[in-house]
Amino acid sequence: TDYTLTVDPSGRGPSIDDSMYGIFYEDINRAADGGLYAELVQNRSFEYDRADNASYTPLTSWATATAGSAAAEVVDDDGRLGERNRRYLRVALDGPDAGVRLTNSGYNSGVAVQAGQRYDFSVWARTDRAAGTPLTVSLDDASGALAEPLDVKVESDRWTRYTGTLTASRTSTEGRLTVSAGGSGTLRLDMVSLFPENTYKNRPNGMREDLARKIAALKPGFLRFPGGCLVNTGSHEAYEAPDWERSRSYQWKDTIGPVEERATNANFWGYNQSYGLGYYEYFQFAEDIGAMPVPVVPALVTGCGQNRATDDPELLRRHIQDTLDLIEFANGPRTSTWGAKRAAMGHPKPFGLTHLAVGNEENLPDEFLARFTQFRDAIEERYPDITVISNSGPDDTGAVFDRAWELNRAAGVAMVDEHYYNNPSWFLENNDRYDSYDREGPKVFLGEYASRDNRFRNALAEAAFMTGLERNADIVKMASYAPLLANEDYVQWQPDMIWFDNHRSWGSANYEMQKLFMNNVGDRVVPSEASGTPAAEAGITGAVGLSTWATSASYDDVSVTSAHGRTLLRDDFSGTDSQWTRAAGRGSWQIQDGAFVQSDTTAEDTMVTAGDPRWQNYDLRVRATKKSG
């Protein structure tokens, strides 16, 4: 087909903000504990509960072994470490032969350690034995010791934090951390923790380096956090201790201050969240990666399948006040109540919050807007420079969407958060979605979108769609793919941008594509016009990919090349990583260290070879050089 593209380099299209492309981080797929949050001990404060997940007990991921007349149990009594960290392990050591071994199995296959790396151990403990209680801390796997054991002596009956360092002598992904004690008296333990000494930017209580680096490599313009459905759900519930812990209501105030004083809570996605990665850490991380922080607070109208609005003026008042306090926490002087808490945590300077979203995917637009405007009015009265972001519900179109937009427009909302998850063909067909949006109305924040898979064709369809976002950069001000992270052994939602286990992480094809756009944000749109119809308009119908027959064992070199000879994807298997075999059976495209992986072993349409008719529209060539012999 004849196709002419006319570009006018002197023409001035809309300018594109540096914050155009960002990331949406939600604690879904165990993105925080066992993921971005570098803590290696699972259920470190014995707070796992059936209310979080039917399979949990307070000893989930722990094994206890006692000798002689020792007994160990998790209790919640007056001896607790704090009002929000209620449970602890009480060990009764009643005789000279009494002993206990407490072993944690970490996340995925275990505690992952690397030879030569240092790991910071800490525990809160107390003992009523006058002579103190010696603890031995060891790290082992099935092949034996992974580090020289550490001796720690618990010396008083007041809760105290004891620390030490373990240096790994071997690399292992199946480590177990064991704390052993003997003697007599009552020993109490809580917050048993092991942290790699190296965290991203060496922040204490910080982020896992490989994941944080992958995120930073995107050069995100903003960080939307902490959800998602995680944010709203449960916000209508009462907030009285100790019930808050199990309410699923995400309260930002629960997530700051010393980690041992933070509550833990049921996560909307069906597990426990420790809040070790909390609001301070999110703001700090945003600053570390040069991203504008965009927190999302609950609007007291619950979407995410639970359509319900709160009619409790006192609860609404409290949430509005909490939001004002959040702004003070981020931006207030160190002399202010909440600014002082930020300063005490190590950041006297304000974080420079400019945008904040109220609500996520509410399905009841009238109820939502009625509450949203109360939040907005209170915020604008006190902080007129903050942009308060509204939303349009969970869909890309339909009655709720239309009504939400109508109300948002009528209320003169500054920016509306849209979300959609669709097939790749939808993304190809909707490149012009924003061409017709009202230029006088609210701006758009595309806070969540993805085509439904992690294959190359999905990334390609999203890329095509993003050219439409960019062309409309005067109205579409921010956009973020969703979700960002997934631990491959605890998946609630896919596709996801970055995948990981307890020691590896790999970006999907969608990640590589986002990186391309995010690292090359233009200054302005250059007007262009097209005549004719490109052949690919019919959409990508066949899978673009190679199946797992392309493994390092049988091939020297695999590449996908365009008709113009440009190499789009290539792996010459020179890397040391075993990513090809690693990904087998996971059903997604993954890119690691610049190499691509198609891991779908089942779908027949992934068996694409050169000459396959499904490739012809795209003129892509696959070249796979077989190993001799």
- Which residues are known catalytic residues? 361
- Pick the stretch among 55-63, 224-232, 306-314, 609-617 that binds ligand AHR (CB under 6 A): 224-232
**Pick from 490, 333, 482, 371: nearest CA to 419:** 482
Length reported for the chain: 629
**Nearest CB to ligand AHR, comparing residues 98 and 229:** 229
Give ∠ CA 202-205-206 in degrees, rounded to 5.
50
Q: In the chain, what are the helix, strand and coil shares in percent, each to the nearest 5?
A: 25, 30, 45
- Pick the stretch among 14-22, 61-69, 223-231, 363-371 that binds ligand AHR (CB under 6 A): 223-231
What is the helix (H) or strand (E) element at residue 321, kind and residue range?
helix 313-331
Q: Is 233 in the site for ligand AHR (CB under 6 A)?
A: no
In whole angstroms, how close is the CB of 29 to ligand AHR at the nearest point?
A: 9
Distance CA 519, CA 161 (A): 43
**Nearest CB to ligand AHR, comparing residues 19 and 480:** 480
**Nearest CB to ligand AHR, comparing residues 88 and 490:** 490
Helix 313-331 × helix 365-382 angle, to 10°: 40
**Nearest CB to ligand AHR, comparing residues 458 and 598:** 458
In whole angstroms, how close is the CB of 32 to ligand AHR at the nearest point?
A: 14
What is the helix (H) or strand (E) element at residue 427, kind and residue range?
helix 424-429
Report the Cα 5 to chain-centroid distance in Å. Answer: 40
- Measured between alpha carbons, how far apart are the two ends of the chain, in Å? 43
**Nearest CB to ligand AHR, comparing residues 259 and 296:** 296
**Nearest CB to ligand AHR, comparing residues 332 and 483:** 483
Return the number of other C-beta atoms located less than 10 Å from residue 291's C-beta: 23
In whole angstroms, how close is the CB of 5 to ligand AHR at the nearest point?
A: 35
**Nearest CB to ligand AHR, comparing residues 250 and 615:** 250
* Token pair recorded at residue 586: 């996971």
In whole angstroms, how close is the CB of 111 to ligand AHR at the nearest point?
A: 29
Residue number with the shortest CB distance to ligand AHR? Answer: 228
Q: With 0-12 CB in 10 A as exposed, 13-18 as middle and 19+ as buried, what is 266? A: buried
Distance CA 28, CA 495 (A): 12
Taking CB under 6 A as the criterion, the residue among 407, 428, 482, 485 binding ligand AHR is 482
Residues of span 165-204 touching ligand AHR by CB under 6 A: none
Q: Which is it for the CA torsion 36, 41, 45, 51, positive or negative?
A: positive
**Nearest CB to ligand AHR, comparing residues 99 and 226:** 226
CA R_g for the chain: 26
- Pick the stretch among 227-235, 329-337, 338-346, 364-372 that binds ligand AHR (CB under 6 A): 227-235
Residues 350 and 339 sit within 8 Å (Cβ to Cβ): yes
- Pick the stretch among 169-177, 198-206, 210-218, 225-233 that binds ligand AHR (CB under 6 A): 225-233
Q: Is 358 in the site for ligand AHR (CB under 6 A)?
A: no
Q: Is 228 in the site for ligand AHR (CB under 6 A)?
A: yes
- Pick the stretch among 49-57, 202-210, 226-234, 366-374 that binds ligand AHR (CB under 6 A): 226-234
The contacts found for 308-316 with CB under 8 angstroms, 24 or more apart, are: 308/236, 308/364, 309/236, 309/364, 309/367, 309/368, 309/371, 310/235, 310/236, 310/371, 312/236, 315/236, 315/238, 315/239, 316/371, 316/374
Q: Is 442 in the site for ligand AHR (CB under 6 A)?
A: no
Distance CA 188, CA 123 (A): 10
**Nearest CB to ligand AHR, comparing residues 191 and 357:** 357
Q: Is 227 in the site for ligand AHR (CB under 6 A)?
A: yes
Q: Which is it for the CA torsion 337, 339, 343, 345, positive or negative?
A: positive
Q: Is 483 in the site for ligand AHR (CB under 6 A)?
A: yes
**Nearest CB to ligand AHR, comparing residues 351 and 420:** 420
In whole angstroms, how close is the CB of 421 to ligand AHR at the nearest point?
A: 7
**Nearest CB to ligand AHR, comparing residues 40 and 404:** 404
Q: Is 223 in the site for ligand AHR (CB under 6 A)?
A: no
* Total site size for ligand AHR, rule CB under 6 A: 13
**Pick from 57, 40, 47: nearest CA to 81:** 47
Taking CB under 6 A as the criterion, the residue among 40, 207, 229, 266 binding ligand AHR is 229
Residues of span 419-438 touching ligand AHR by CB under 6 A: 419
Q: Is 418 in the site for ligand AHR (CB under 6 A)?
A: no
In whole angstroms, how close is the CB of 445 to ligand AHR at the nearest point?
A: 13
In whole angstroms, how close is the CB of 459 to ligand AHR at the nearest point?
A: 17
x-or-dash string of contact with ligand AHR, 25-44, rule CB under 6 A? -x-x----------------
Taking CB under 6 A as the criterion, the residue among 162, 239, 401, 493 binding ligand AHR is 493
Taking CB under 6 A as the criterion, the residue among 140, 141, 361, 453 binding ligand AHR is 361
Pairing of strands 443-451, 415-422: parallel
Strand-pairing partners, residue 592, are 595
Pairing of strands 172-196, 160-167: unpaired
x-or-dash string of contact with ligand AHR, 234-273, rule CB under 6 A? ----------------------------------------
Distances (CA, A) of 236 to 117, 298, 319, 405, 519: 45, 9, 10, 24, 40
Distance CA 427, CA 412 (A): 29
In sequence order, which residues have a C-beta less than 8 Å from that of residue 359 and are 6 or more positions away?
Answer: 232, 296, 297, 298, 299, 301, 303, 368, 371, 372, 390, 391
Q: Is 360 in the site for ligand AHR (CB under 6 A)?
A: yes
Q: Is 417 in the site for ligand AHR (CB under 6 A)?
A: no
In whole angstroms, how close is the CB of 108 to ligand AHR at the nearest point?
A: 22
Residues of span 382-401 touching ligand AHR by CB under 6 A: 394
In whole angstroms, how close is the CB of 448 to ligand AHR at the nearest point?
A: 5
In whole angstroms, how close is the CB of 87 to ligand AHR at the nearest point?
A: 28
Distance CA 311, CA 190 (A): 39
**Pick from 102, 73, 70, 98: nearest CA to 88:** 73
Q: Is 448 in the site for ligand AHR (CB under 6 A)?
A: yes
DSSP 604: G
In whole angstroms, how close is the CB of 468 to ligand AHR at the nearest point?
A: 21
Return the number of other C-beta atoms located less than 10 Å from residue 107's C-beta: 24
- Interface residues toward ligand AHR, by CB under 6 A: 26, 28, 227-229, 360-361, 394, 419, 448, 482-483, 493
